């Protein structure tokens, strides 16, 4: 089917038809990342927002407003709500918030880790419109036994089976009750695109994007930690203590990846940019974010970390917005340089200069972003 929600499925394998310059990392399931220089907008355009699927694409609904969500489990009053009912019954909110894949940065690990080889482009910051999940859970009435959510979507698994979920992750109730955790039905002021989970998805800011279930059909409230696909074994888990790169994890204590680590990217100039001979000042800008925490500072270096220049941070629109930053770097002379960008969060944690905390599935790699530039004539 051509043009269905931004993808072409005529040959059974999806092709992007509505994206601007994304790099496709996989087609079954469909995965694509955004080059850092295309993330130069305060609000990431839909055409430049990364794509991460865990299964095949579901069928596009004939009437998005009638799409329904079930809330059941450890609640007093199980609910079935259509998108239209969500809009009518609950206050609608809009927040600009970062959504980031848990494996963002994976390709920088050595030895290579399992999974899609993300660089820094498994991230975007969009305006999400929906109703806070906590308002719906309040209407359902959480029982004292409620401790965890479990999320389900309409997408079949990678083999096309609909009798088992492609992914079903969950979160502690405390995160579900944050005001910024949304049942979203719009993105950047438009009805939520099919490719990004429309008509209805979760948006769980600050935590791995896998929690932000696309094509959402059910939220099951549980009395224990969820054990669906993506919640067991090594899925979205990190060693509690660092292990040697490439080491096995049998018997190693693991923790669930929740708040994402602090990260910054340079969005201008692009890697490989060339400046005219005699250029002595380079304008640099980018973005930084820090999971549940805030960005305290961003520093830039043009001499491999010998000296650092503080960047100016723009005010956030709301919590979980990314911090746009800018700086002017002094260039001592013509030649080849690397621009390093290093963010520090509100807890004092800074990005490592080289990848740390290797793990078999490559989660949470947040090493300093480096962009090569040349000042001088072409060779």
Q: Do 143 and 70 lie in a common domain?
A: yes
Structural domain contains residue 1: no
CA angle 44, 48, 52 (to 5 degrees): 105
| 219-231 average pLDDT score | 98
Give how many domains the chain has, as a whole number. 2
106 three-class SS: helix
For residues 246 and 37, what is the distance between their CA atoms, to the nearest angstrom? 31
Single out the residue in 201, 236, 256 at which a domain terminates. 256
Nearest to 149 by CA among 256, 92, 227, 86: 227
Q: Are residues 65 and 116 in the same domain?
A: yes
Give the position of tokens 């390709």: 107
Taking a C-beta distance cutoff of 8 angstroms, is the pair 103, 355 a contact? no
Q: What is the pTM of this model?
A: 0.95
pLDDT in tens, 134-193: 999 999 999 999 999 999 999 998 888 888 899 999 999 999 999 999 999 999 999 999
Domain boundary among 198, 221, 256: 256
23 and 135, same domain (yes or no): yes
Distance of CA 180 to the CA centre of its chain: 15
**CB of 351 closer than 8 Å to CB of 300:** no
Query: pLDDT confidence of 6, banded at 50, 70, 90?
Result: low
> Is residue 133 domain-shared with residue 237, that is, in the same domain?
yes
* Token pair recorded at residue 285: 């800008």
- Identify whether residues 284 and 343 lie together within a single domain: yes
Average pLDDT, the chain: 95
Q: Which strand (E) or helix (H) includes residue 222?
A: strand 216-222
Q: What is the predicted pLDDT for the residue at 158?
A: 87
Tell me, yes or no, whether 252 and 267 share the same domain.
no
* Terminal-to-terminal C-alpha distance of the chain: 48
- Per-residue pLDDT band for 9 (boundaries 50, 70, 90) equals low
DSSP string, 134-184: HHHHHHH-B-TT--EEEEEES---TT--SSS-S-----BHHHHTSTT-EEE
Confidence of residue 11 (pLDDT cuts 50, 70, 90): very low
pLDDT of residue 3: 42
The DSSP bridge partners found for residue 242 are none
Q: Are residues 251 and 284 in the same domain?
A: no
Could you give the CA distance from residue 332 to residue 335 in angstroms, rounded to a whole number? 9
Per-residue model confidence (pLDDT) at position 164: 86
Give per-residue burial for 1-18: e unless 16+ CB within 10 Å, then b: eeebbbbebeeeebebee
Distance CA 271, CA 301 (A): 15
pLDDT > 90: percent of the chain: 92
Check which CATH number belongs to the domain holding 272 and give it.
2.60.40.650
d(CA 260, CA 291): 4
Is residue 87 within a helix (H) or strand (E), and if so which, with residue range? helix 83-89
Reply yes or no on whether the pLDDT at 123 is more than 80.
yes
DSSP string across 114-140: SS----S-SEEEEEEEEEEHHHHHHHH
Structure tokens at 158: 């990678």
Token pair listed for 152: 């389900």
| Domain match, 214 and 65 both | yes
pLDDT of 2 over the 80 cut: no
- Residue-wise pLDDT tens digits, 255-264: 999 999 999 9
Whether residues 173 and 307 share a domain: the answer is no
Q: Which of 7-11, 233-237, 327-331, 363-367 has the lowest mean pLDDT?
A: 7-11
Does residue 2 fall inside a structural domain? no
Note whether 176 and 310 are same-domain residues: no
Whether 254 shows a pLDDT value over 80: the answer reads yes
Q: Which pLDDT band, with edges at 50, 70 and 90, does 22 fall under?
A: very high
Q: Are residues 219 and 320 located together in one domain of the fold?
A: no
Domain that holds residue 218: 7-256
- State which of 256, 277, 292 marks the end of a domain: 256
């Amino acid at each position: 089917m051509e043009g269905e929600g931004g993808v072409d499925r005529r040959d059974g394998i999806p092709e992007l038809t509505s994206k601007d310059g994304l790099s496709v990392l996989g087609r079954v399931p469909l995965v694509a990342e955004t080059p850092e220089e295309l993330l130069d907008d305060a609000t990431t355009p839909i055409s430049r927002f990364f794509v991460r699927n865990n299964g095949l694409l579901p069928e596009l609904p004939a009437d998005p407003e009638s799409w329904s969500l079930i809330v059941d489990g450890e609640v007093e009053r199980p609910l079935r709500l259509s998108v239209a009912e969500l809009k009518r019954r609950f206050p609608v909110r809009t927040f600009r918030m970062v959504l980031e894949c848990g494996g963002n940065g994976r390709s920088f690990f050595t030895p290579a880790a399992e999974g899609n080889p993300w660089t820094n482009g498994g991230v975007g910051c969009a305006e999400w419109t929906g109703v806070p999940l906590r308002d719906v859970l309040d209407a359902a009435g959480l029982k004292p036994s409620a401790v965890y959510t479990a999320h389900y979507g309409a997408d079949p698994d990678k083999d096309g089976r609909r009798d088992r979920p492609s992914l079903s992750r969950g979160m502690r109730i405390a995160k579900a009750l944050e005001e910024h955790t949304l049942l979203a039905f719009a993105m950047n002021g438009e009805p939520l695109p099919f490719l990004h989970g429309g008509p209805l998805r979760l948006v769980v800011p600050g935590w791995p994007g896998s929690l932000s279930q696309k094509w959402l059909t059910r939220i099951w409230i549980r009395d224990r930690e969820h054990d669906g696909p993506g919640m067991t074994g090594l899925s979205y888990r990190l060693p509690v203590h660092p292990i040697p790169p490439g080491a096995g994890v049998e018997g190693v204590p693991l923790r669930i990846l929740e708040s994402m680590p602090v990260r910054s990217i340079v969005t201008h100039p692009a890697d490989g940019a060339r400046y005219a001979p005699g250029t002595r000042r380079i304008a640099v800008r980018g973005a930084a974010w820090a999971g549940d925490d805030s960005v305290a500072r961003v520093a830039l270096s043009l001499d491999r970390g010998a000296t650092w220049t503080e960047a100016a941070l723009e005010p956030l629109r709301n919590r979980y917005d990314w911090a746009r930053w800018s700086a002017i770097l002094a260039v001592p002379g013509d030649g080849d340089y690397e621009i390093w960008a290093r963010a520090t969060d509100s807890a004092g944690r800074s990005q490592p200069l080289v990848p740390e905390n290797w793990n078999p599935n490559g989660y949470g790699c947040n090493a300093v972003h480096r962009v090569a530039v040349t000042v001088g004539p072409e060779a």
